[in-house]
Amino acid sequence: MIYHIPWIYMPVRSVLAVWHQLTKTEIPELSKGSVVMRERRRVEETIRAMRRAGACRLQVISDFDMTLSRFAHNGRRVPTTHNILDNRLLINEECTKKMKELLNTYYPIEIDASRSAKEKLPFMVEWWTKVHELLIEQRIRKDMLAQAVKESRTMLRDGYKVFFDGLHESQVPLLIFSAGVGDVLEEVIRQNGVFHSNVHVISNYMDFDHAGVLRAFKGQLIHTFNKREGAVTQAAGLAQLHGRPNVLLLGDSLGDLTMADGVSDPHHVLTVGFLNDQVEERKELYMNAFDIVLVRDETMDVPNAILRNITSSGRLEVKA
């Protein structure tokens, strides 16, 4: 039996349909097979709120290695900024061997689902300190870095150009917050043609002597699990980020979740976590920590779709 809706209810139905169209979040990418979310409704509500506020109230804070850069390509790991330095132009065989031993010792600790960040912290300090000492011993030359990046297998995630160019066009600042090597990171994005004026980098920068030879690393060491300190002391001081209380945060480590801790009076923070490695062991942890988890997803499709949605509201002007 077919029930006919009386004509008197038609306007109500139309209003409801229009309301639904206006409020639903049109992001088909959130239905990709690689996407998992604990609370989809909350994610959609946050995106809607960020869209209402517009691009002028938004900032993006992102990790670099294995977040903006790919984790793997054709079944092989893509080098991190530290591993790009593994090139005979810069270091000798003995140093390569020692760096690999350190990676094999400490990387499993970094991603160990059974240890807390607090437990991992001293090991990370040890890893970074030992590697930086090795690199300093090698007397790395500044003028060789660009060539080492050129010769490396480094790759940014698919869709990186849309990501960087889109943020630049929308005048949304991008803070790259990396525990990698800042000089190498900058060279990677420069060689990919996306080091735009809206990009700011906080990272471990090399200190070269007057002859361009590495003699130390500048400032306080940044590793995977102390980004909160850098966020509070360095990121909070960046004038370009002031007045932008809405944050899209991208990372691949639970330590990355503290990268927005320097934002004063945040309104909406949407976190996206790339789960690249030890997927089954860490899935639940990631789902409980990040709003959106991207499982073995080597693309920027989801961040790009979210940004397209938020920035297409037309509110570009920067508020005084």
Active-site positions read 63, 65
Residue 107 as a binder of ligand L45E5XJ5 (CB under 6 A): the answer is yes
In the complex, what is the shortest distance from the CB of residue 231 to ligand L45E5XJ5, in angstroms, rounded to a whole number? 12
Residue 103 as a binder of ligand L45E5XJ5 (CB under 6 A): the answer is yes
SS3 for the chain is CCCCCCHHHHHHHHHHHHHHHHHCCCCHHHHCCCEEECCHHHHHHHHHHHHHHCHHHEEEEECCCCCCECCEECCEECCCHHHHCCCCCCCCHHHHHHHHHHHHHHHHHHCCCCCCHHHHHHHHHHHHHHHHHHHHHCCCEHHHHHHHHHHCCCCECECHHHHHHHHHHCCCCEEEEEEEEHHHHHHHHHHCCCCCCCEEEEEECEEECCCCEEEEECCCCCCCCCHHHHHHHCHHHCHHHCCCCEEEEEECCHHHHHHHCCCCCCCEEEEEEEECCCHHHHHHHHHHHCCEEEECCCECHHHHHHHHHHHCCCCCCCCC
Applying CB under 6 A, the span of 39-47, 174-182, 238-246, 298-306 interacting with ligand L45E5XJ5 comes to 174-182
Among 35, 47, 91, 131, binds ligand L45E5XJ5 (CB under 6 A): 131
Name residues contacting ligand L45E5XJ5, limited to 244-273 (CB under 6 A).
253
Among 46, 62, 80, 309, binds ligand L45E5XJ5 (CB under 6 A): 80
C-beta of 47 vs 201, nearer to ligand L45E5XJ5? 201
Total number of residues that touch ligand L45E5XJ5 (CB under 6 A) = 18
C-beta of 131 vs 172, nearer to ligand L45E5XJ5? 131
Residue 83 as a binder of ligand L45E5XJ5 (CB under 6 A): the answer is yes
Cα–Cα distance measured from residue 75 to residue 31, given in angstroms and rounded to the nearest whole number: 25
Name residues contacting ligand L45E5XJ5, limited to 30-69 (CB under 6 A).
63-66
184 Ramachandran zone, left/alpha/beta (phi>0; psi -120 to 50) = alpha
In the complex, what is the shortest distance from the CB of residue 66 to ligand L45E5XJ5, in angstroms, rounded to a whole number? 6
In the complex, what is the shortest distance from the CB of residue 11 to ligand L45E5XJ5, in angstroms, rounded to a whole number? 54
C-beta of 64 vs 217, nearer to ligand L45E5XJ5? 64
Residue 155 as a binder of ligand L45E5XJ5 (CB under 6 A): the answer is no
Residue 182 as a binder of ligand L45E5XJ5 (CB under 6 A): the answer is no
Binding site for ligand L45E5XJ5 (CB under 6 A): 63-66, 80, 82-83, 103, 107, 110, 127-128, 131, 178-180, 224, 253
